[in-house]
Structure 1
């Protein structure tokens, strides 16, 4: 379990884009690519910058359950996280969080930005043909 978590944290630190899956009103997955904020990342907290009008945010009214996925091309490994999203107030973030937006995030220039916090409940790592799993709720 500890080795899986260590691998997951390493991949989490180095990922620049995540595939984010939420569930729409018909029960189908809605998958989008989101770049995380460069705030401290952990399995407990991964922050994403989007807009309140996005399908991702709208889907959270139905269910906060979600999954995120990232892939490391250099060693063909992947990280899958199952968890929950929460829309958080920007006032809960460190002061000057806007200055942490990367160039792409700044170019989005959302009129009604939404900050999403993902909290992991379980982790699955695929590395060197081996899949390891850890339930983080234990």
Structure 2
């Protein structure tokens, strides 16, 4: 892959769904489909919104190991990033990714105590395309 940031960045930006992975209290992997990320900083940091009361938040607080998977079903391409997930409650992070209409999920607005930000920090990844996979490090 000539330009991982561009190739994988485009795949992430066009994905309509993100699959996030966490580890439960028994050490088993858990996966969940999420709305696409609200923001990304290269391939290193990816931001999602979620409910503070969710099972995933509880799991990430106990064990931050995580993965995120994005795919293009039309061209059968995908990327798995692995790293750690942080749960952010600070107003700066919450305001950064808030969008009009989010009140549907968080009725009290950006200060809703059940609204938080997940910040995924990728450490490495694996990209699949054209019947082949390759590993890469994130920068």
* TM tier relative to shorter chain: 0.7 to 0.9
CA distance in 2, matches of 1:92, 1:2: 35
Unaligned runs of 5+ in 1: none
1:2-55: CA deviations, max 9, x gaps? 534432222112112111110011111121111134334531221111111111
Distance 1:5 1:132 in 2: 14
Question: Taking structure 1 as the reference length, what is the TM-score of the superposition?
Answer: 0.82
Q: 1:124 and 2:126 equivalent?
A: yes
What is the aligned residue count? Answer: 134
Distance 1:61 1:17, change over 3 A: same
Q: Quote the Cα distance in structure 1 between the aligned partners of 2:33 and 2:90.
A: 21
The structure-2 alpha-carbon separation of the partners of 1:47 and 1:18, relative to structure 1 and needing over 3 Å to count, comes to same
Distance 2:88 2:3 in 1: 31
Task: Structure 2: state its 5+ residue gaps.
Answer: none
CA contact (8 A) 1:7 1:125 kept: no
Bigger relative contact order (CA 8 A; separation at least 6): 1
Q: Which residue of 2 aligns with 1:43?
A: 43
State the partner residue of 1:3: 3
SS of the aligned residue for 2:8 comes to helix
TM-score by length of 2: 0.82
TM-superposed deviation, 1:70: 1.5
> What is the Cα-based RMSD across aligned positions, in Å?
2.4
